[in-house]
Amino acid sequence: MVDYSKWDHIEISDDEDDTHPNIDTPSLFRWRHQARVERMEESKKEKEEFIKKSTQARKNLEETRQRFEQLCVEGKKDSEEGRKLQDTLKEYEKQTAEWKKKEDEIAKKERLTPWNVDTIGHDAWQKTIINKYDKDEKDVKDMTDEELSKRHRTFVEKNETKIKKFGMMRRWDDSMEFLVENPNLTCEETANYLAIWAIDLEVEEKHGLMEQVAHQTIVMQYILELAKSMKEDPRACIRPFFTKIKKADKMYKDCFNDELESFKERVRGRAKARIDEAMKQAEEEMRKERESRLGPGGLDPVEVFESLPKSLQSCFESKNIELLQKTLMEMDSEEAKYHMKRCVDSGMWVPEAKQQEGAAGEESEEPVYENPDQ
């Protein structure tokens, strides 16, 4: 049986009222229509403002959730930053829930608004059916660091090639078809891998590739956020997202681009921090290495060797004692003593025992040294 109840609340046309003969009917109808159009326009602006604020709230929630999940993967869930993010995450979840409630109220208000000649027409066959998402996996926040790391590692091992292929795609249609063929990629693990890959590319100074991967990271995040807001399986939101983004108005696309630029800035910041940390570690390792090779006199053999005249460097490189003695005899005595003392203090060469046991005040014509490597 056909249900005609949906026609019960239709606002009558502007030109269907009976009016008094003395009233300028055409002007009255134009005024009514103009007033209704202005009300609709005002309602539209309020809805757009609501969507903008709601999108920003979801954006804040997603950024915080992604950062927290990344900390979990890195094993820093219980760090100070991790605890702060958990508190922030709860606050953003509360705000998002409030926006969702307001969204439901607006949708209900729109359903109860009477139809009129400007709104009664619509596309009859435009319909998307999405199955309910019954997620039976263990919640990320309930997992241990070991479980999170294992899950991420296993997923990447199986799908790394496909994830990288998706990360290099530029066209909306190509990305959509690829995810439709590989729906298992529509998950947090893919988003996390792409985010880390983007940072790696920026560290390697491959800026163009970083921006491409960053774009696909935001695409995946938007799909996941759409699924969360609709409480659906992310795999069921692949086509709806790409259909929406291709036909989206300027405001929605501006939100997407703003999120993309914000993410690229965060990637650059993380890459710089990683480079600075690597340089700091390298400097620390060089310092420890230098300290470990200091000789008995506290000198660095590398620095001492580089300061020697070329003739003495050749002697040490060949480890030829006779050539060393000959070269020293040809040099000024004070200069020879200066260089050889530095060699002894750096541990490059060690004086013979007989010289060290010589009588006090007795001087040899020329010091004799032995190679510690022999």
pLDDT in tens, 261-296: 999 999 999 888 888 888 888 888 877 777 777 777
pTM of the model: 0.47
Residue 92 in domain:
yes
Q: What is the pLDDT of residue 197?
A: 93
3 state DSSP class of 294: coil
Which of 115, 140, 174 is the last residue in one of the domains? 115
Which whole-number Å values give the CA distances from 169 to 164, 206, 248, in the listed order?
A: 9, 16, 20
Sign of the Cα torsion 351, 353, 358, 360 reads positive
Q: What is the pLDDT of residue 132?
A: 46
Q: What is the pLDDT of residue 71?
A: 73
Q: Are residues 257 and 177 in the same domain?
A: yes
Which of 115, 139, 171 is the last residue in one of the domains? 115
Q: What is the pLDDT of residue 28?
A: 52
Q: What is the pLDDT of residue 221?
A: 93
Q: Residue 345 and residue 294: Cα distance in Å, rounded?
A: 9
Q: What is the pLDDT of residue 128?
A: 45
HSE toward the beta carbon, residue 224, CA cutoff 13 A: 21
For the stretch 128-162, pLDDT in tens is: 444 444 444 445 556 677 777 788 888 989 999 99
| Low-confidence spans in the chain with pLDDT less than 70 | 1-34, 36-37, 73, 110-143, 352-374
Q: Residue 191 and residue 197: Cα distance in Å, rounded?
A: 10
Q: What is the pLDDT of residue 21?
A: 52
Q: Are residues 310 and 280 in the same domain?
A: no
Q: What is the pLDDT of residue 339?
A: 82
Residues of the domain holding 365: 301-370
Q: Are residues 267 and 168 in the same domain?
A: yes
- Our CA angle for 186, 192, 198, nearest 5°, is 115
- The residue type at 358: G
Q: What is the pLDDT of residue 30?
A: 62
- Residue 38 near residue 70 (C-beta atoms within 8 A): no
Which of 243, 265, 292 is the last residue in one of the domains? 292
Q: What is the pLDDT of residue 162?
A: 94
Q: Are residues 171 and 258 in the same domain?
A: yes
Which whole-number Å values give the CA distances from 195 to 102, 103, 139, 179, in the listed order?
A: 32, 30, 21, 18
Domain count, the chain: 3
Q: Are residues 286 and 321 in the same domain?
A: no
